[in-house]
Chains A and B, each alone.
Chain A
Amino acid sequence: MDLDRALTISASGMTAQSSRLRVVAENLANQDSTGTAPGADPYRRKTVTFERHVDRATGAESLRPGRVGTAPGEFPAHYEPNHPAADERGYVRTPNVDSLIEVMDMREAQRSYSANLSVLETTRGMLQRAIDSLRA
């Protein structure tokens, strides 16, 4: 039934957005995670991708979170010779996480999540009305 498929699709959208939010949380939590050994790499920002997924049983085209990749890019470095991760010149490399970008990503995920949620609620209301019409 089409309404069931609509429910599946909205739910898959919500799952995808929440996995995105999880990655944002990981990035923000690790925004100060430097390496521990001299010259070691700090935390590298993670990115999430979505991929299309066709449910073979119902034919519903939903989406699901794909592979979690890492963001390329230089690590910013600053001078701190006493740090355990400082290299021979005294520079410590810090993660390539920009908190502004992460917050923006978080807001977008939140907005999309609530859009999916309201479609889910509307669809549920339509189903409920159809069921109620059997009672009359």
Chain B
Amino acid sequence: MSVNRPDPQALAGQRLQWLEQRQQVLAKNIANANTPGFQPSDLPPFERQLQRAGAAAGVMRTDPKHLASAGSDGAVRERRNAERSPDGNGVALDVQALKVAETDQAHALALNLHRSWVGMFRTALGRG
């Protein structure tokens, strides 16, 4: 494996992890679609996270009884809302649904890439 190119498998793994985190953030937004004053949040783009990989590891939990640090998923509040209801809630269900669909598709793509990469290894090993 060449050193200066990122390992596609590791890259697929990072991408999958990012997508899973994003799915969690979107689930939180949709669950709070009727909470007064709630602002939806989203993860920063994957490219940006790749650039500063390792820098934002968050606080480590050395004991299962520790509380997870709030916002350790790096989600940021959305500034621009598509709509805002009178009670101050900024969640637009259609926008969130679109993001969920995007995440779902990207997840399928990353998993298939991962799988075909593993398939190439299998072929090389002669078990294709």
Contact = CB atoms under 8 A, between A and B. Distances in A.
Q: Are A and B genuine complex partners?
A: yes
A67 interface: no
A108 B86 CA distance: 14
Contacts, number: 101
Nearest to A17: B34
Q: Is the interface of B mostly helix, strand, loop or mixed?
A: helix
A63 B100 contact: no
Contacts of A109: 34
Interface size class of B (residues with CB under 8 A): 35 or more
A78 interface: no
B68 A16 contact: no
Contact of A6 (B24, B33, B101): B24
Contacts of A118: 97, 100
B32 to A, nearest CB: 6
Nearest to B107: A126
A58 B68 CA distance: 7
Contacts of A52: 35
Contact of A60 (B24, B33, B119): B24
Contacts of B96: 115
Nearest to B65: A56
Contact of A5 (B24, B108, B119): B24
16 contacts: A1-B20, A3-B24, A6-B24, A9-B28, A9-B31, A13-B27, A13-B31, A50-B32, A116-B30, A119-B30, A122-B23, A122-B100, A122-B103, A129-B111, A130-B16, A133-B114
Given A13-B33, A50-B34, A126-B19, 14 more contacts: A3-B23, A3-B24, A5-B24, A6-B20, A52-B35, A59-B67, A61-B70, A116-B31, A122-B103, A126-B20, A126-B103, A129-B111, A130-B111, A133-B111
Interface of A: 1-3, 5-7, 9-10, 12-13, 16-17, 20, 50, 52, 54, 56-63, 108-109, 111-112, 115-116, 118-119, 122-123, 125-126, 129-130, 133, 136
